[in-house]
Amino acid sequence: MVAPGHNSESVTQKISSIVLERPIMLGWLGGFTVAFGLLMMLNIAIGWLLIKGVGVWGINIPVAWGFAIVNFVWWIGIGHAGTFISAILLLLHQDWRTSINRFAESMTLFAVACAGMFPLLHLGRPWVFYWLLPYPDTMGLWPQWRSPLVWDVFAVGTYLTVSLIFWYVGMVPDLATMRDRAIRRPVQLVYGIIALGWRGSARHWKRFHAAYLLLAGLATPLVLSVHSVVSLDFAVAMVPGWHSTIFPPYFVAGAIFSGFAMVLTLAVPIRKFYGLQDFITIRHLENCAKIMLATGLMVAHGYITEGFMSWYSDDKFDIYMTLNRIFGPYAPAYWLLILCNVIVPQAIWFKKIRTNPAILFVIALLVNVGMWTERFVIVVTSLHRDFLPSAWGIYDATQWDWMTLLGSFGLFLSLLFLFLRVLPAISIAEMRTLIREQKEASK
Amino acid sequence: MSAKLEITEPGHWRSLQELAGSKELEDVVHREFQIGASEWKDPVSRRKFLKLMGASMALAGVSACTRQAAERIVPYVRQPEELIPGKPLFFASALTLAGYARGVLVETHEGRPTKIEGNPEHPASLGASDIFMQAEILVLYDPDRSQAILNNGQISTWESFLGYLTGRTQNWKTDRGAGLRLLTRHETSPTFVDQMQHLMSKYPAAKWHEYEPVATGDPIYHFDKAEVIFSIGGDFLSWGPASLKYQRDFAAWRRATDRPGSMNRLYVVESTPSITGAMADHRLALSPDRIARLVREIQTRLESNEIASSVQQAKFISALVADLQQHTGKSLVIAGEHEAPAIQEFARWCNELLRNVNQTVEYSAPTAMRGGLAELVNDINAGGVKALLIIGGNPVYDAPVDLEFGKTLDKVPISIHMGLYANETAEHCQWHIPEAHALESWSDACAFDGTATIMQPVIEPLFAGKSRHQLLAALLEDAASDSYDLVRAYWQTQLPAPDFEKLWRKSLYGGVVVNWREPIKGSSFGGTQTLPLGAEISGLYLLIRADPHIGDGMFSNNAWLQELPKPLTKLVWDNAALISPATAERLQLASEDLVLLKYRGRSVQAPVWVLPGQADDCVTVHLGYGRARAGNVGSGVGFNVNALRTSDALWGGPGLQIEKTGQRHTLVTTQHHYMMEDRHLVRAGTVAEFEKNPASITRTDEPPPAKADTLYGNYRYKDRAWGMAIDLNTCIGCNACTIACQAENNIPVVGKEQVAAGREMHWIRVDRYFIGGVQDPKVFHQPVPCMHCENAPCELVCPVGATVHSEEGLNQMVYNRCIGTRFCSNNCPYKVRRFNFLEYDANRFESPISLKLMRNPDVTVRSRGVMEKCTYCVQRINAVKIEAEKANRAIRDGEITPACAQACPAEAIIFGDINDPNSRVAKLRASPLNYALLQELNTRPRTTYLAKLRNPNPEVEKA
């Protein structure tokens, strides 16, 4: 799990030096500039959106939800891998998770931040978003609890809060390490404040482990619940293509699928550029790929079940919806998702492929594309032809839709670049534990 | 400020209001600092100060928005002691279409007309209205209407025009008016005709010409007596001075719930699909030459009973002829105004033969005394015209192209144009006088049957317009120069003197002049020869028709009508060259291909639209588009068909050539898909099927679940439960409901681009489906408002409770609470919800200030980001509820009428309380024809439909 020859000191040195000693490299600067540029584009897109209204997007009647919801579901799905790795694998004693959990958790946070932005922006009147919250309104108004959108607010809100606390609590010992290793006074001060006075006493460690495990226990059901609730945004509706009981598990599998794809998309370049091959080994990549394959097969099963159910239901609207997905105006999107989500991941069956970081990177990218397309297919093709043929329409994304999507990459990557720059990307404390355990095991 | 402050009668701020309508004042309104204000330090500022004070007073009048109607007009219903703010008043008047009056009731709020309804006591309206009547309110407030007298393009005044005219009248008096010509549209106004007669006697050498680009010289039909109707290209349901009456009479026969066994039968032969054709029990789509041959066969058959075996449509012909012969005196043969004279004559011959004349049809002789347009052009070219007054109309745009009216007009030494708009014709005239709108001045007009209506103004002229009567009075040097005096003076000669005041008031009150009718001269018939058997034409036919919504161009600048999906094509904001699918395939054309239409040496570029049901080898184009000076809304929209229209082929003819250009032109339609995809959305059957098994028409594959199968429990209605039934038998797809709803509910126009993006805002739309082959499909219309579902899918998914169920079962939309998630629309299987994607009230169609006066004050104007939809006109429901509660009585059935139902000429929309078993709507819901759209979804709609029955001849179509 860790390349041989490392001890506690070398691990600490290696990881903390990325933040504390390594100068700002041209590559980082270039990458950050691009990401920041995209972020500024997002600002423009959001600014125009707030000035003019959601009409700047391509949405219409019947397709009243477009890129915003597609992006929301996609980003929130990506957010799942972090918690899955941190919480579920921790509880299952999968030690290999150690080296990737920190940046997977960060990825989760940033992805949820991107995701959380979209439902607010997509509102016709975003300035009154707080009406979704149960607060003591002077007129006695309350959210409408039968609507899955209200459940969504709580699911995503809870997820963001728990992920944030989990991520932060897990980082406290490392922040103390950073504080202790920092040379310059201001840096020491900043890390000192956010390290919350961690001194590494046995009592600290005892309480830390208890709190961390508890949080892991709290986060675990969220992995399943968040995307289940998100899927109910669709499943509760009566639109053919949405109204399906398979949605919660199918969405959760898809979320973990896309989440691990994103972990791989990030892990492969990071381990290369920061020379972390010793900590993020091929075995890590392989394990991620295996999870991706497993969840990918669940997703494929979901596609087959959906098709089967629409035939078996003998419901003319459902049958038409399925045929329309496969052969209708958005058929290219459907076939792209089949290619990316079902066909391409089958390559992972081969050991040669799943141990090749470059190929894994490409596969992971394609899965990311595929999962975005899947959400596009679910949202748009279901809506654009529903019950009354007279009301059928077509949805074309505008430049503002694309700018918002690309801009959300900018937000995500900017946060990621900053994270790599200022926080330890791999959990130092856990790596040290791991090395000690490895040594003990080898004795 | 050049306006004068004069007070004509104590207590009446008449001049202030006129001042308020002036152009200068508009400027003042828009300007933060008035013109005078910047010159405050001017030494001679006392006068300016007074002027400023005047302007401020006028401004105060404007800001209060109370345009008080003149005191002499008489409210129609609910006449209060005095005007109560918040309570509308209704005034009876009339609007004209092609010169003929249709009675209206104008709803005014605090002196602002906001809505037009039909006048139930007027024979051409019967309480119904059509799209033109409804949209006229938008014309009234159209900011593009001409606002100033123009002399060679420079702003002038009425006084200087009168001064100019005085010089001319002196000359005319000496030369008896030689070279003086007047050109009007078709005129039925008794006062105007009387003034013209005076003018002609004063200047005997003057001459009156009349030009109506889309004239309707149709006879009067009595559909209430016609059991079998054969129409040859006659689109009597969609367009014409009497179309509202025809629709009502026709619909009465089709109302299957009353008497399914005695439905009338309609045979239609036409070249281009019309809404009349869509109502036909048997329809043939044939090119004009094939129609001529068919008609010839029918004639032979009627004369000699010989069976024409060679003809394709032998079955159709023999069934039709037998049907006609069995119904002598109760049948009716109609030839559309576009058909060849021989066919017109054939129709008359048939009606004479079948003894229908004066039973189901009345022929009248055309009024003499007026010359035509061609005659005028000849005289101008011969140099015989010295002065031309064009009153109304736009001949430079809509005259046949071979007359080159624009160029000809330039040759006339004195040209004066009066019209609502400074249009193409005004551009060619030396003087342009803005005409007062029909709702702004006194006038009168006759209906198709000669009934006269005195048109009373409901608002002072917004843009300082003058009436036609005032112009003629100026020519006549009449002492009375006020329209009111002129109209009243005329009627004083017509109505018996002792009772005049009483009759005058009664006539105004009721909207119909009591005991008076323009006599209609009967016309004799000379018999017909055998129809010339036309040769078979091999090329393409050009068919020129009036646009179903824009007409001949008089409504070009009306954004409501531009954005209203046209019947059958559902196109908006454009005209197109309509061709049949087979012809499109043969010519390798697709919809939106831009082609060059070449006809008799002239050509015009037009986009193609492939329309099922169009006759092969026929290309239909519509007038009214391609205007250069229509206004901000209508200029540059579509292509100008007048460029192909010549005086010898007003409705087109054979010899059209089509050339591809390789370019494309985006056409926007609101309904992309015309098939029903085997979904039982419009349930239909035949009368025979219905009589055999009434339940068979509405049978369903899958019944909805039981009412008790619900998680959340059912609503209980102690009191009232509103519901609506829409009779697909009588709905003719005329779109009146859509426009009436738009007017009532302040629905914005969004423009071509937004409609293309799928964002039209109509709360009630008329869906059309084609069934059968693309060559000759059956057409079904289905108006779709909100269904007000009992299990409303929208209510369930709104996270903030912005759409809720009322205690009377209305599905209500709370705009203030809506945050715009649009989940409700996604979950609405009927897709009747409309979303304000942008701030539509600020777009170029809605933002002009004058349009704000038009808004219905009882309905919120929605802002950006909120959802909206049909409310069943909840403002009308509540108004009646309040009145009923005040009087401590129950609401009577029919007392509440939503705007769509009120407008519907066919009375296809019935609204009422479904909890009351005696209400009309409850009875309709009990009919075996009643069904709910998408009932298998268990939404349990409050709006239900009555399945459509057709009455085909069993000889032609086996049940």
- Region of poorest pLDDT, from A339-348, B249-258, B612-621, B833-842: B249-258
Distance CA B638, CA B666 (A): 11
Contact B673 A320 (CB under 8 A): no
What was the pLDDT predicted at B787?
Answer: 94
The residue whose two tokens read 């342009």 is B432
Q: Count CB atoms within 10 A of the CB of residue B471.
A: 22
pLDDT greater at residue B822 or residue B25 = B822
pLDDT tens, position by position, B813-860: 999 999 999 999 999 999 999 999 999 998 889 888 889 999 999 999
The residue whose two tokens read 């489906």 is B769
Q: B771 at the A interface (CB within 8 A)? A: no
Q: B351 at the A interface (CB within 8 A)? A: no
Query: Chain A: nearest CA to B824, how far in angstroms?
Result: 9
Contact B835 A124 (CB under 8 A): yes
Over 60: is that where the pLDDT of B43 sits? Answer: no
Over 90: is that where the pLDDT of B922 sits? Answer: yes
Distance CA A437, CA A431 (A): 10
Note whether B691 and B643 are same-domain residues: no
Over 50: is that where the pLDDT of B3 sits? Answer: no
pLDDT tens, position by position, B170-193: 888 888 888 899 999 988 899 999
**Most B CBs within 10 Å: which of A388, A394, A396, as the mutation test of the B interface?**
A388
Distance CA A319, CA A327 (A): 12
What was the pLDDT predicted at B656?
Answer: 92
Maximum distance among all Cα pairs of chain A, rounded to whole angstroms = 75
Note whether B606 and B629 are same-domain residues: yes
B767: three-class secondary structure by DSSP = strand
Q: A129 at the B interface (CB within 8 A)? A: yes
Contact A389 B679 (CB under 8 A): yes
Note whether B435 and B328 are same-domain residues: no
Note whether B227 and B210 are same-domain residues: no
Contact B819 A131 (CB under 8 A): yes
Over 60: is that where the pLDDT of B18 sits? Answer: no
pLDDT tens, position by position, B635-678: 999 999 999 999 888 898 899 999 999 999 999 999 888 888 88
CATH number at residue B473: 3.40.50.740
DSSP string, B370-388: -B-HHHHHHHHHTT--SEE
**Most B CBs within 10 Å: which of A72, A150, A238, A242, as the mutation test of the B interface?**
A238
Q: B935 at the A interface (CB within 8 A)? A: no
Q: A392 at the B interface (CB within 8 A)? A: yes
Note whether B233 and B211 are same-domain residues: no
Chain A residue with the nearest C-alpha to that of B570: A390
Which of A167, A168, A359, A170 has the alpha carbon at shortest distance from A282? Answer: A359
Q: Angle of helix B483-494 relative to helix B190-202, nearest 10 degrees? A: 90
The residue whose two tokens read 């609507």 is A147
The phi and psi torsions of B9 (rounded to 5 degrees) equal: -130, 145
Distance CA B371, CA B108 (A): 40
What was the pLDDT predicted at A21?
Answer: 81
Question: Residue B343 falls within a domain, yes or no?
Answer: yes
Question: Residue B82 falls within a domain, yes or no?
Answer: no
- Region of poorest pLDDT, from A20-24, A109-113, B355-359: A20-24
Sort out which chain B residues have CB atoms less than 8 A from A383's CB and list them.
826
Question: Residue B490 falls within a domain, yes or no?
Answer: no
Note whether B691 and B840 are same-domain residues: yes
The residue whose two tokens read 């309040």 is B882
Sort out which chain A residues have CB atoms less than 8 A from B940's CB and list them.
none
Range of the domain at B26: 14-63
What was the pLDDT predicted at B27?
Answer: 53
B649: three-class secondary structure by DSSP = strand
- Average pLDDT of chain B, as a whole number: 86
Over 90: is that where the pLDDT of B267 sits? Answer: yes
Cα atoms in the Cβ-side hemisphere of radius 13 Å centred on B63: 9
Buried/exposed code over B42-64 (b: 16+ C-beta within 10 A; e: otherwise)? eeeeeebeebbebbeebbebbee
Q: B604 at the A interface (CB within 8 A)? A: no
What was the pLDDT predicted at B38?
Answer: 46
Q: Count CB atoms within 10 A of the CB of residue A17.
A: 12
Question: Residue B715 falls within a domain, yes or no?
Answer: yes
Contact A387 B826 (CB under 8 A): no
Domain boundary among the residues B34, B63, B92 is at B63
Domain boundary among the residues B669, B696, B713 is at B669
Note whether B208 and B227 are same-domain residues: no
B543 in Cβ contact with B620 (< 8 Å) = yes
Question: Residue B867 falls within a domain, yes or no?
Answer: yes
Residue A136: cis peptide before it, omega within 30 degrees of 0: no
- Region of poorest pLDDT, from A5-14, A278-287, A295-304, B254-263: B254-263
**Most A CBs within 10 Å: which of B784, B787, B797, as the mutation test of the A interface?**
B797
Query: Chain B: nearest CA to A83, how far in angstroms?
Result: 28
Q: A140 at the B interface (CB within 8 A)? A: no
Over 60: is that where the pLDDT of B32 sits? Answer: no
Over 70: is that where the pLDDT of A135 sits? Answer: yes
What was the pLDDT predicted at B74?
Answer: 58
Q: What is the ipTM of this complex?
A: 0.93
- Region of poorest pLDDT, from A230-234, B139-143, B935-939: B935-939
CB pairs under 8 A between A and B: 169
Res. B39 pLDDT band, cuts 50 70 90: very low
Note whether B796 and B839 are same-domain residues: yes
Question: Residue B897 falls within a domain, yes or no?
Answer: yes
Provide the chain B residues 809-838 that lie in CB contact (below 8 A) with chain A. 817-823, 825-827, 829-831, 833-838
Note whether B828 and B862 are same-domain residues: yes
Q: For residue A380, what are its two tokens?
A: 């748009």
Contact B866 A125 (CB under 8 A): yes
The pairing of strands B387-391 and B180-184 is: parallel
Q: Is the dihedral of CA B693, B694, B697, B703 positive or negative?
A: negative
Over 60: is that where the pLDDT of A196 sits? Answer: yes
What was the pLDDT predicted at B708?
Answer: 74
Question: Residue B505 falls within a domain, yes or no?
Answer: no
Note whether B750 and B786 are same-domain residues: yes
Query: Chain B: nearest CA to A116, how far in angstroms?
Result: 14
In sequence order, what are the beta bridge partners of B572?
B668
Q: Is the pTM of this model over 0.95?
A: no
Residue B952: cis peptide before it, omega within 30 degrees of 0: no
CATH number at residue B622: 2.40.40.20
Domain total for chain B? Answer: 5
Domain boundary among the residues B619, B639, B669 is at B669
CATH number at residue B318: 3.40.228.10
DSSP string, A208-234: HHHHHHHHHHHHHHHHHHHHHHHHHHH
Note whether B700 and B747 are same-domain residues: yes
Distance CA A256, CA A235 (A): 19
Distance CA B240, CA B251 (A): 17
Note whether B693 and B835 are same-domain residues: yes
Sort out which chain B residues have CB atoms less than 8 A from A125's CB and list them.
818-820, 863-866
Contact A62 B934 (CB under 8 A): no
Question: Residue B429 falls within a domain, yes or no?
Answer: yes
Residue B30 makes CB contacts below 8 A (sequence gap 6+) with none
Contact A144 B798 (CB under 8 A): yes
Contact B839 A386 (CB under 8 A): no
